[in-house]
Amino acid sequence: MRYTLDELVSETKEIERNEGIFELETPRTLEVNLNGDIWAKAGSMVAYTGDIKFERERLREQGLGTMFKKAFTGEGASLMRASGEGKLYLADSGKRIIILELQNDAIVVNGNDLLAFEPSIQHDIKMMKKVAGMLAGGLFNVRCEGTGLVAITAHYEPLTLAVRPGKPIITDPNATVAWSGNLEPVIQTDVTLRTFIGRGSGDSIQMRFEGTGFVIVQPYEEVYMQMSQG
């Protein structure tokens, strides 16, 4: 489209919505009205105003177990603490952003799809060991639990599927965004899919969800960061 400069500013300018600490400035940009601390995905800051400082999550903040997990999951699980007062704008590769309000709830998010959360939310990085050698970079997730806001991301329009007793949901790990905290997915291998030659996307590796809850998938197979070679 063609704009004059005044038209461009008018069309794309920030809109004050006064909706709280997390606001969707656009479907793909999260505005954080910061007055204190929040946790965000490392590298997700695109702009800010005010007096805000950024600090990488220290390994000792999460303990020795997390240190080993980070060694295997690479930078995708890295978080940063944003502290101060001002407006902070976050985004991640143009993905759509969903703001969740947890009310003493728990949700497990693919580590690559967690954008930000309030400090009132307890978080723990977990790695699915059985899939570590099957997918590029393995598969790690972050369990978020408590009361507060969590922002997650997805490519295009996400789809939420209900998991019911006796009706399991099977998903592609590369397309799985998040699931309810009470579910424990099981990794399974589809032998028939493994027989296809030249399939490198990991379609033969699947996640099976059973019980009662939900799972969020995206219409996109996300490629994770390669594991470092020692």
Q: pLDDT band for 48, please (50, 70, 90 cuts).
A: very high
Rounded mean pLDDT, 162-177: 95
Q: Do the domain assignments include residue 28?
A: yes
User: How many independent structural domains does the chain possess?
Assistant: 1
Q: Do the domain assignments include residue 185?
A: yes
Q: How far is CA 211 from CA 3, 190, 206, in A?
A: 53, 21, 17
What integer pLDDT is reported at residue 203 of this predicted model? 60
Q: How far is CA 26 from CA 14, 43, 131, in A?
A: 9, 19, 35
Evaluate whether 58 touches 115 at the Cβ level (below 8 Å). Answer: no
Check pLDDT > 80 for residue 36: yes
What integer pLDDT is reported at residue 12 of this predicted model? 87
* b/e sequence 84-95, b meaning 16+ C-beta within 10 Å: eeebbbbbbeeb
Check pLDDT > 70 for residue 130: no
Q: Do the domain assignments include residue 229?
A: no
What integer pLDDT is reported at residue 190 of this predicted model? 73
Give the range of the structural domain holding residue 176, as residue numbers without chain letter.
Answer: 18-217
Q: Do the domain assignments include residue 38?
A: yes
Rounded mean pLDDT, 174-201: 77
pLDDT, one tens digit per residue, over 198-207 is 544 456 789 9
CA distance 174 to 206: 9
Structure tokens at 95: 């993905």
> pTM of this prediction?
0.84
Owner of token pair 């990991």 = 202
What integer pLDDT is reported at residue 230 of this predicted model? 31
The dihedral sign for the CA sequence 115, 24, 159, 219: negative
- What is the DSSP annotation of 76-112? GG-EEEEEEEEEEEE-STT-EEEEEEEEEEEEEEEGG
Rounded mean pLDDT, 75-96: 89
Check pLDDT > 80 for residue 19: no
Check pLDDT > 80 for residue 123: yes
Q: Do the domain assignments include residue 225?
A: no
Owner of token pair 């408590």 = 146
Give CA 142 to chain center in angstroms.
Answer: 8
Write the single-letter amino acid at 131: V
What integer pLDDT is reported at residue 105 of this predicted model? 96
1: helix, strand or coil: coil
146: helix, strand or coil: strand
pLDDT, one tens digit per residue, over 97-121 is 999 999 999 999 998 999 999 999 9
Check pLDDT > 50 for residue 74: no
Q: Do the domain assignments include residue 13?
A: no
- The CATH number assigned to the domain holding 188 equals 3.60.160.10
Lowest-pLDDT range of 141-150, 187-196, 207-216, 221-230? 221-230
Q: Do the domain assignments include residue 9?
A: no
Q: pLDDT band for 188, please (50, 70, 90 cuts).
A: confident
Evaluate whether 36 touches 119 at the Cβ level (below 8 Å). Answer: yes
Q: Do the domain assignments include residue 6?
A: no
